[in-house]
Amino acid sequence: MVGVTVVVKIGGARAVDPAGAVTDVAHLTVNDEDVVVVHGGSTAVDDALEQVGKEPEYVESPSGVTGRFTDAETMDVFEMAMGKVNTDLVAAFENAGVPAVGLNGVDGKLLSGPRKSAIRVVEDGTKKIRRGEHSGTIEAVNTDLLETQLDAGYVPVVSVPMLGKDGDESLPVNADADRAAAAVAGALDATLVVLTDVEGVYEDPEDPESLIDEVLTPADLDGVQDAAEGFMTKKVMAATEPSRARRGSRGRGREQPRPRRARAPRRGHALPSGCAGRRGGRGSRRQR
């Protein structure tokens, strides 16, 4: 049997309450829907950096996209902070009766691609090249690993870092979580749902009535891309860019989706008190 898989991206900003997403996923799994969760952790990483006395650094690309600059010290803190976020989220799902397993992109070469050791940035109006970057571009997704967990009745809870290829070596590197979710959704032929701390993209950020509710034409898409600012730019990119991730075990490509194996019964289907019949958890805002 081949079913529809849902990839749920949970934002890492402080204002995003994961409780609502946990409830939403619980409702999907109780109805035997396959769900993969991908999460961010920007606030947790920033907090951890400040605890070790290092100021979080964000840079802007020549195209206007804002992102974290990840040097070697930041990468060490990043791995630690993201691991805690992943563990805490898995525990939240288990407490909600959702069998979950935590994975990062290095595990089983789940998310892989080339490392970027230098990036182009704009500082004080001048274009520069910053070296010492620890980030990468996801080009392959190990779908066999995800499908094995789904077939066993688990919800994979996925986070970056990814595994970055640098010459003859591979190492953990940062990757944008929104684009990681898009890569996973593309590789699984899944529906992508993004939960974030804002309502969406506004034509005029100062006018709450200018929220763009839907995109139906190429002109609509151009309007959303022009209106997106700051971190929302990457979310729009993730929702619209063709996935470059390949299906397959450890990055080997596969042209056709494989049939779903007989799935083990899901354990722990009891929902949290008061959740029956709710489709949208509080604190979750969906962007499709």
Query: Which segments in the chain show pLDDT lower than 50?
Result: 1-2, 242-262, 267-288
CATH of 5-254, one of 3.40.50.300, 3.40.50.1370, 3.40.1160.10, 3.20.20.70: 3.40.1160.10
3-class secondary structure, 57: coil
Torsion angle (degrees, nearest 10) of CA 224, 226, 230, 236: 40
Half-sphere exposure for 190 (CA within 13 Å, toward CB) = 26
For residue 211, what pLDDT is reported?
Answer: 72
Q: Output the pTM of the full model.
A: 0.79
Strand partners, 202: 211
Query: b/e for 177-207, b at 16 or more Cβ within 10 A?
Result: bbbbbbbbbbbbebebbbbbebebbbeeeee
For residue 194, what pLDDT is reported?
Answer: 85
Cis peptide before 161 (omega within 30 of 0): yes
CB 46 within 8 A of CB 40: no
Q: Count CB neighbours of 270 within 10 A.
A: 11
Question: What share of residues in the chain are helix, strand, coil (percent, to 5)?
Answer: 35, 25, 40
Per-domain residue ranges of the chain: 5-254
For residue 142, what pLDDT is reported?
Answer: 98
